[in-house]
Amino acid sequence: MAIDYRSIITIEPGKRGGKPCIRGLRITVYDVLGWLAEGMSEVEILDDYPELESNDIRACLAFAAEREHSLAAII
């Protein structure tokens, strides 16, 4: 089942410079993607940030995929 990231990813102008965050937390999509890119596993991320859930990580990936798809359509 695909994750609907729109119910998880929030954008608030006054929070983290308006970057996309997870459920209003101060953890950005870019933070999570960076941790994954550095080789952290989902379990490690969830252990380090217990306020996150597995669906949050998948929402970040879905958000990034959609954004990449949107950019590809422009080019």
Q: Which residue has the tokens 């695909």?
A: 2
List alpha helices for the chain, DSSP H.
Answer: 29-37, 42-48, 54-74
pLDDT of residue 71: 66
Q: Tell me what pLDDT residue 67 has.
A: 86
Q: What is the pLDDT of residue 19?
A: 96
3-state DSSP assignment of residue 22: strand
| Region 5-30 average pLDDT | 95
Q: Identify the residue with better confidence: 75 or 27.
A: 27
pLDDT at 68 over 60: yes
Pick the CATH number of 5-74 from 1.10.1060.10, 1.10.10.10, 1.10.10.410, 3.40.630.30: 1.10.10.10
Q: Report the distance separating Cα 11 and Cα 58, nearest Å.
A: 17
